[in-house]
Chain A
Amino acid sequence: MIPELGHFALVLALVVAVVQGVVPMIGAWRGDIAWMSAGRSAAYLQLIFVAGAFFALMHAYVTSDFTVHNVAINSHSAQPMLYKVTSVWGNHEGSMVLWVLILALFGAAVAGFGRNLPPTLRARVLSVQAWIAVGFLSFSLFTSNPFARVFPPPLDGRDLNPLLQDPGLAFHPPMLYLGYVGFSIAFSFAIAALIEGRVDAAWARWVRPWTLAAWCFLTAGIVLGSWWAYYELGWGGWWFWDPVENVSFMPWLMGTALLHSAIVVERRNALKAWTILLAILTFSLSLIGTFIVRSGLLSSVHAFATDPERGMFILLLLGITIGGSLILFAVRAPALQPGGLFAPVSREGALVLNNLLLSVACATVFLGTLYPLFLEAFTGDKVSVGPPFYNRTFVPIMVPVIAAMALGPMMSWKRADLAGVLSRLKLALGAAILAVLIAYTQQGGAILPVLAMGLAAWLFTGSVVEWGGRVKLFRAPLADSLHRARHLPRAAHGTALAHAGLAIAMAGIVAASNWKDEAVQVLRPGETVELAGYRYRLEGVEQGQGPNYTIDRARLTVTTAEGEFVTLLDPEKRLYPVRAMPTTEAAIHTTGMADLYAVIGDADGQGGWTVRIFHEPMVPWIWAGSLIMILGGLISLSDRRLRVGAPARRRKTPAAAAPARA
């Protein structure tokens, strides 16, 4: 009964979405307050119905109702309860319901928290959001119904793919969807602005919090996915430039550009058309990503098993949404009033540079991802594009971005004193040289990674120096600095944290990619292998049993080369009998500066086991840096100015007023 109620709720949501898409839009056009406020009620209703459908599906999973086809092929009665719940989105149909749920969630959030928005803008935003919902609800109902029944019901399910039975991966899809479905709000704002024919500072002020929230979630989602790949796949790798990874990365790059571009619209009323285009493109990339993953066009470990019919439907949705919005842009954007002028060397100029480079970087990732398909259409040749391409194109483009990031926040609007900014960054230059020297003496070898470490140190120190300058650190009494810090707009703290976090993550990425070490050996119990100053001794391998899998568990004792005890590692090999799938569980010990990573392979039949040890330098810094980035974003999000929509009234401080730079 409950699956049918869920199905009905989904249908009701579609009907409500149609109403929400039509009535407020007409109301905004005619100036009818009642019709415009219908948008808010409709958004709440839509959320209730989609949530109802989602929880009905979850109920079917939790109770292991194998008469529902989706549950039968993706779940199993012996699964731990956590994975019964996360199986809801571990497949195509269920994840589409999650997709639409988050769309409805953001729509309701705009209806609820957007009280300071002008009614016409809010009505149009909710309508556009509803159009997207209509598209994807139709997709779900007509091609990917999660509530289809199966008769006769099987005795037990086919189990969730064992790779997905993992806490990290359980939460990776919801985070990702909160991210790139969250960018739908920026898209809706952009379309609403184009329809209204007006983009101004207020619009940018209203669009930023939603974009920032989506950005934080997307960062978290990508990092979760990377971290999962790192500890689950057993090769110590965390980024493979797989097409599906790329389609989550591209909205992130564009979203970052959008965040920064919106600042220029807000402060200087410039770059309007470009910001609108970015908002459209960011969500368009999310949609293209959804298409690529579910259409079967590109083969990838991530791709859901789907058929071309679904691909056609999504392609139609894409055509209408992206094509329509870009044509609307072509028609309406030229009429937008151009804004303030600025010199090339200025904060606006730096932000334009940031945008330009990030867009080019995104374009190279896009090209690399879709080039094989494009080439095959024209010549029939099949090629694959992998890390060598991205290392040669993406990495060099990011270098000036990182270098400029230290300068940008210190530059003033309209016209900046570049020499003055550079002289204030002498400390950052010193730190960069120091880092280069340390890296060179520690690692030697190739010069580029060493220089990259210097670049990371430059950015980190530059961010700290900028923040320190705002609070007059070491130049005024400490109490004064603390007072200033408390009264700085939170976005200032957020900026410094986010930029510094990126620097830390970048250092980790450079080190992990270039100075990784590996040893593979067949060991008998009692034998050792040495790697990077650590000694690993295999104590033995024992058999065990999990809830729905069997285990081979090894025990390794890790000591330093001098014999000092470090830790015990227990890598596992599991076999999930229902799907006859083996997985490896790596054992990882982090020293803060590096990860000691052990994987157990096959037995050689004579008492020996294949043991793989990886020495991963500075990988923990990648996760730590990313968390700091997300923290910076969240702190910025809590800035009073973004919530109230008006500048915070600043109490008069005793020190002389610093020129407003926030």
Chain B
Amino acid sequence: MRRQLLYLIPAVIFGVIAGNFLWGLISDRDPREIPSVMIDQPVPEFDLEPIEGMAGPGLKSADLTGGQVTLVNFFASWCVPCRAEHPFLIELTRREDIRLVGINYKNEPEEARAWLAQLGNPYAAIGADTTGRVGIDWGVYGLPETFLIDAQGRIRYRHTGVIDAAALNKALQGIGK
């Protein structure tokens, strides 16, 4: 009897594997999504100058631990989807509870200035990451990417791609707002 149960083992193992496959198909996972390892980590140290030729204070990591919920938006003039999300970012300036800052990623200063002049500047402060080193620390692998920083200066959410109201609400819900 026990010997016969032994023969059942392959079928049982297959059952577990098939169950795993079934889960894979019916859950709404995206196999291409790569979660950020920076979630729940404090903001990485950085200190960026403002975009050359623009007035402003630049951006550094200390600015993000000021006790306010902040959105950090990585953008560039050569990034086409950034244009698509820009109107939403302009709208965000009307919100009192969220501060929006930008990091200009690997962009020539003249082109960044022209882009912001044409479309408007929604950012309270902008840091110019011309070499991309700060982006590496944040784990940025494509533009646009937007990070939600809570009041304690920890990264709580990373959104890849164009950000819209739905994505923002989902992110805010995650930190209990």
A333: interface (CB < 8 Å):
yes
Any B CB within 8 A of the CB of A578: no
A308 close to B (CB within 8 Å): yes
Smallest Cβ distance from B111 to chain A, in angstroms? Answer: 17
Asked if A323 meets B31 with Cβ closer than 8 Å, knowing A291-B21, A311-B25, A329-B7, the reply is: no
Q: Name the residue of chain A whose CB is nearest to the CB of B8.
A: A330
A315, closest chain B residue (CB): B21
Which B residue's beta carbon lies closest to that of A335? B4
For this complex, into which size category does the number of interface residues on chain B fall?
20 to 34
Contact of A308 among B3, B11, B25 (CB under 8 A): B25
The reply to whether A327 and B17 contact each other, CB–CB distance below 8 Å, is no
Which residue of the partner chain, among B4, B11, B21, contacts A326 with CB atoms under 8 Å?
Answer: B11
* A377 CB–B CB distance under 8 Å: yes
* A356 on interface, CB distance cutoff 8 Å: no
User: What is the distance, in angstroms, from B168's C-beta to the closest C-beta of chain A?
Assistant: 22
- B14 engages A322 (CB within 8 Å): yes
Cα of A334 to Cα of B26 in the assembled complex, Å? 36
Q: B15 touching A297 by the CB < 8 A rule?
A: no
Interchain nearest-CB distance for B98 vs A (Å): 27
Q: Which residue of A lies closest to B29 (CB)?
A: A376
B4 touches A329 (CB 8 A): no
A373 interface residue, CB < 8 Å from B? yes
Residues of A within 8 A of B34 (CB): 382
Chain B residues with CB below 8 A from A319, complex form: 18
Bound: A329/B33 CA distance, A: 39
| A596: interface (CB < 8 Å) | no
Residue from A312, A326, A376, A377 in contact with B10 in the complex, judged by beta carbons closer than 8 Å: A326
User: How long is the Cα–Cα vector from A557 to B18 in the complex, in angstroms?
Assistant: 55
CB-CB under 8 A from A291, the residues of chain B are 21
A333 to B7, CA, bound (A): 7
Binary CB contact string for chain B from 60 to 97 against chain A (1 if under 8 A, 0 otherwise): 00000000000000000000000000000000000000
Cβ of B23 within 8 Å of any chain A Cβ, yes or no, is yes
Check B25 against A299 for contact (C-beta < 8 Å): no
Residues of A with C-beta under 8 A to B10: 277, 280-281, 326, 329-330
Least CB separation from B7: chain A residue: A330
Name the residue of chain A whose CB is nearest to the CB of B27.
Answer: A377
Residue of B nearest to A309 (CB): B25
Q: When each residue 28-67 of chain B gets 1 if its CB lies under 8 Å from chain A and 0 otherwise, what string results?
A: 0101111100000000000000000000000000000000
Chain B residues closer than 8 Å to A330, beta-carbon distance: 4, 7-8, 10-11
Q: A323 to B25, Cβ gap below 8 A? A: no
Chain A residues near B132 (CB-CB < 8 A): none
Interface string of A531-544 (1 = CB under 8 A from B): 00000000000000
Q: Which residue of A lies closest to B22 (CB)?
A: A315
Q: How far, in Å, is B92 (CB) from chain A's closest CB?
A: 29
Task: Determine whether B139 belongs to the interface, using a CB cutoff of 8 Å to chain A.
Answer: no
Q: List B contacts of A329 (CB < 8 A).
A: 7, 10-11
Task: Report chain B residues within 8 Å CB of A370.
Answer: 17, 20
Residues of B near A233 (CB, < 8 A) are none
In the assembled complex, which residues on chain A have CB atoms less than 8 Å from the CB atom of B31?
Answer: 296-299
A residues within 8 A CB of B120?
none
In the bound complex, residues from chain A placing their C-beta under 8 Å from that of B23 are 377
Q: B4 to A334, Cβ gap below 8 A?
A: yes
What's the Cα separation between A374 and B23 when bound, in Å?
Answer: 10
User: Does B24 interact with chain A (Cβ within 8 Å)?
Assistant: yes
Interface residues of B in 100-139 (CB under 8 A from A): none
How long is the Cα–Cα vector from A87 to B21 in the complex, in angstroms?
A: 30
> Chain B residues near A334 (CB, 8 Å)?
3-4, 7
B156 to chain A, nearest CB (A): 16
Say yes or no: B32 contacts A299, CB within 8 Å: yes
Taking the nearest CB of chain A, how far is it from the CB of B66, in angstroms? 32
CA distance A273 to B25 in the complex (A): 33
In the complex the two chains form, what is the Cα distance from A280 to B13 in whole Å? 14
Specify the chain A residue showing the minimal Cβ separation from B15. A323
The distance in angstroms between the C-alpha atoms of A281 and B9, with both chains bound, is: 13
- Which residues on the B side are within 8 Å of A318 (C-beta)? 18, 21
Q: Produce 1/0 per residue, A366-380, CB < 8 A to B.
A: 000010011011000
CA distance A330 to B15 in the complex (A): 13
Q: List the A side residues contacting B24 at CB < 8 Å.
A: 295, 297, 373, 377
- Can you identify 30 A-B contacts, CB atoms within 8 angstroms? A273-B7, A288-B17, A291-B21, A295-B21, A295-B24, A296-B31, A297-B31, A299-B31, A299-B32, A308-B26, A312-B25, A319-B18, A322-B14, A323-B14, A323-B15, A323-B18, A329-B7, A329-B10, A329-B11, A330-B4, A330-B7, A330-B8, A334-B7, A370-B20, A373-B24, A377-B20, A377-B23, A377-B27, A382-B34, A382-B35
What 7 A-B pairs are tightest by C-beta distance, nearest first?
A326-B11, A330-B8, A299-B31, A330-B7, A297-B24, A334-B4, A377-B23
Q: Which B residues form the contact surface with A (CB < 8 A)?
A: 3-4, 7-8, 10-11, 14-15, 17-18, 20-27, 29, 31-35
